[in-house]
A and B are shown apart, each in its own frame.
Chain A
Amino acid sequence: IAGITQAPTSQILAAGRRMTLRCTQDMRHNAMYWYRQDLGLGLRLIHYSNTAGTTGKGEVPDGYSVSRANTDDFPLTLASAVPSQTSVYFCASSESGLNTGELFFGEGSRLTVL
Chain B
Amino acid sequence: SSVLTQPPAVSVAPGQTASISCGGDDVGRPSLHWYQQKPGQAPVLVVYDDSVRPSGIPERFSGFKSGNTATLTISRVEAGDEADYYCQVWNSNSNIIFGGGTKLTVL
A and B interact: no
